[in-house]
Amino acid sequence: MKTYEIPRNYKGESRILYIFSTKALIYTIVAMGIGLIFYFILDALGMQIAGIICDVIFGAIGFVVGTFKIPDTKKFEFAKKTGGENIDDVIKRWIKFKQKKNKVYMWKEEEIKDERESNK
């Protein structure tokens, strides 16, 4: 009698505290670290509650960036191009685009065909 391996669905097993994936937890901790700076500034000014609220807001933003995807909708031009992609991937691509000083290189189809023919 042979034994068969039954494939398991591993999706969701890398979650921490049920809602946090590893990536979302890292983004949340980093964002709360940034919010902690504002907490200390506001705490020094005597507004401790405002500092805590600011830290929680930064943590929520980090969680959203690390977890959610951009909705795929046809109403907005931005969502048409990036719909269904992770928010952090879109932000990373935008940062790389800005580092290249907003340059996008495009080739015409005729140039590509001419180049291929000349290489043969």
**pLDDT tens sequence across 95-116:** 888 887 776 666 666 655 555 5
Least confident of 13-17, 33-37, 99-103: 13-17
- Residue 86 phi/psi, 5° resolution? -65, 145
| 20 touches 32 (CB < 8 A) | no
Residue 12, Ramachandran bin (φ over 0: left; ψ between -120 and 50: alpha; else beta): left
More confident residue, 52 or 87: 52
Identity at 20, one-letter amino acid code: F
What mean pLDDT, rounded, does the chain reach? 78
Report whether pLDDT(22) > 70.
yes
| 70 touches 93 (CB < 8 A) | no
Percent of the chain with pLDDT over 70: 68
Give the confidence band of 20 by pLDDT, cuts at 50, 70, 90. confident
Give the confidence band of 90 by pLDDT, cuts at 50, 70, 90. confident
Report whether pLDDT(88) > 70.
yes
Report whether pLDDT(9) > 80.
no
Looking at residue 8, what is its pLDDT?
67
Task: List the chain domain ranges.
Answer: 13-68, 72-120
